[in-house]
């Protein structure tokens, strides 16, 4: 899926309130821009996305049927 397909999925499923989907979208956007970015900036943004994901904690606990 490219970033526009992920965005349509998020819109279609009302996923704007699901931060794990937004992180997946942001990661795909970053991957699409990787060749246009200096490696240090790419790594910096990737590190930021990783931290955002880690900040979510165990968001799936109690929601396994919904998200997996």
Per residue in 29-68, pLDDT (tens digit) is 999 999 999 999 999 999 999 999 999 888 778 888 877 7
Task: Confirm whether 62 is domain-assigned.
Answer: no
pLDDT of 9 higher than 80: yes
pLDDT score at 24: 93
Range of the domain at 39: 3-57
| Domains of the chain: total | 1
Q: Do the domain assignments include residue 25?
A: yes
7, 32, 63, 68 from 58: Cα distances, Å? 24, 28, 10, 13
Q: How many CB atoms lie within 10 A of CB 26?
A: 17
pLDDT at 65: 86
* 19 within a domain of the structure (yes/no): yes
* For residue 19, pLDDT beyond 80: yes
CA 23/CA 57 separation, integer angstroms: 13
What span, in angstroms and rounded, lies between the C-alpha atoms of 5 and 53?
A: 21
């Amino acid at each position: 899926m490219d970033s526009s397909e992920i965005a349509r999925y998020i819109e279609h499923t009302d996923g704007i309130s699901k931060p794990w989907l937004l992180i997946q979208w942001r990661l795909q956007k970053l991957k699409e821009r990787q060749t246009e970015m200096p490696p240090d900036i790419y790594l910096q943004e990737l590190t930021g996305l990783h931290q955002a994901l880690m900040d979510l904690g165990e968001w799936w606990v109690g929601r396994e049927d919904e998200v997996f």
